[in-house]
Amino acid sequence: MSLLILATILALGVINIEASDVASNQAICPDIQSDSVEGIEGRWFRVYSNMKYHNVKCAYGDIVNLGHDEFVSTVILDLVEGGSDNITSTIKKEADGKYYDFWVDEEGVLHRDLTMMKLDGDFLLTWICIDLGNGRVGEHASIHSKTHKLSNAVVVKYDNWLKERGSQGGHFYETRLDECSAQ
């Protein structure tokens, strides 16, 4: 769901983040795959992220299951200065058994990035790995909640889960939910 927040940053250039939180020294994406994606449909609110967003007051999204291991994700970013941005992508499982996020940037270029979703009760971990060029990849991970609920135990669990799989994208920061345009 929030898989596309990094894509939004890259495509729209309107979100102020700390770049050091995005880049990795890894040359390739770790081999992280989704567990069952049953139940990921619906509205999700980002409650933790491995990036600090200084001008986003709320991020949420809707996931629609199209069937046959294909989903549409629409992410809405409510901005501190007013207004919002949104981006829609298609997430689908390919022949290699992995899920990929397909999105088009502002120049009309289609991107295909490895992604992963992991559901645990009312929490959803999303992870996306983007080739940044020059032998570097960017990993973006977020934890979402259907209820705005926070949980340090879930943060520790997902951080450890990502690290066990070779990811460098697991250190999570609590994100803002104070002024969401949607509940």
Beta bridge partners of 67: 70
CA nearest to 169, candidates 178, 161, 181 = 161
Q: For the domain with range 42-174, which CATH number is right: 2.40.128.20, 2.130.10.10, 3.30.1960.10, 3.30.465.10?
A: 2.40.128.20
Q: State the pLDDT at residue 14.
A: 40
Q: State the pLDDT at residue 24.
A: 52
Residues 6+ apart with CB under 8 A from 168: 24, 25, 26, 139
Weakly modelled stretches of the chain, pLDDT under 70: 1-26, 181-183
Q: State the pLDDT at residue 32.
A: 87
Report whether 72 contacts 66 (CB < 8 A): yes
Instruction: Give percent helix, percent strand, percent coil of the chain, each to the nearest 5.
Output: 15, 45, 40
65-95 pLDDT tens trace: 999 999 999 999 999 998 998 889 999 999 9
Q: State the pLDDT at residue 147.
A: 86
Phi, psi for residue 106 in degrees, rounded to 5: -65, -15
Residues 6+ apart with CB under 8 A from 171: 50, 159
Structural domain boundaries of the chain?
42-174
Residues 6+ apart with CB under 8 A from 58: 45, 77, 78, 176, 177, 178, 179, 180, 181
Separation CA 6–CA 130 (nearest Å)? 9
pTM: 0.84
Beta bridge partners of 99: 93, 115
Q: State the pLDDT at residue 60.
A: 94
22-33 pLDDT tens trace: 545 567 888 888
User: Is the CA virtual torsion 157, 150, 114, 14 positive or negative?
Assistant: negative
Separation CA 166–CA 41 (nearest Å)? 27
User: Is the CA virtual torsion 19, 24, 27, 29 positive or negative?
Assistant: negative
